[in-house]
Amino acid sequence: MILYFLRHGKAGQGNPADPRDGDRELTDAGIAELRAAAPLWRRLNLRPDLVLTSPLPRAAQTADLFVAGVGLPRPPVVDDRLVPGADWSDMARAMTVDGSARRVMFVGHEPDLSMAMELLTGAASIRMRKGGLACVEFPGIPEPGAGELAWLLDPDLYDS
């Protein structure tokens, strides 16, 4: 099984203490960076069977840009379990929306994504920048410590 982790794009300065923080959308620069990533995503032949996204606008917009950029036929699935503060158990439960998916992408927030990858791979630390994308591969079902970080794309690699 393959899991992909995509951190939402640039959304401006946030403040979790502000009740409107969840309403932040991608900035023009964030949208441009994600659109510039699409050719690289296509060269990597990224074809997740299922794209799950946090309901927050910045994540949902990122998921939409990914799906459009690689030309997936199925829209992203918004899942409230992926709001900021989600952990691996939340993500694992969200995957059950499609039990046949063998390649699943999570579009969400930090530190949730890196913490899930650290748990799944046993890595001491993983840093996900805004717009960063990682791939974790498993010989079977995803379980803590059983995954291998296959690659991590830093957004500096995108031609924006």
Six-digit token string for 65: 């840009």
pLDDT at residue 39, rounded to an integer = 95
Q: Which tens digit of pLDDT belongs to each residue from 21-34?
A: 678 899 999 999 99
pLDDT at residue 92, rounded to an integer = 97
pLDDT at residue 4, rounded to an integer = 98
Q: Which tens digit of pLDDT belongs to each residue from 27-69?
A: 999 999 999 999 999 999 999 999 999 999 999 999 999 999 9
Q: Could you tell me the end-to-end alpha-carbon distance of the chain, in angstroms, rounded to an integer?
A: 31
Mean pLDDT, residues 127-156:
96
pLDDT at residue 15, rounded to an integer = 65
Class of domain 2-157: alpha beta
Radius of gyration of the CA atoms of the chain, in A: 14
User: In angstroms, rounded to a whole number, what is the distance separating the alpha carbons of residues 73 and 76?
Assistant: 10
User: In angstroms, rounded to a whole number, what is the distance separating the alpha carbons of residues 12 and 58?
Assistant: 10
pLDDT at residue 18, rounded to an integer = 64
Cα torsion 125, 91, 14, 153: sign: positive
Q: Which tens digit of pLDDT belongs to each residue from 105-124?
A: 999 999 999 999 999 999 99
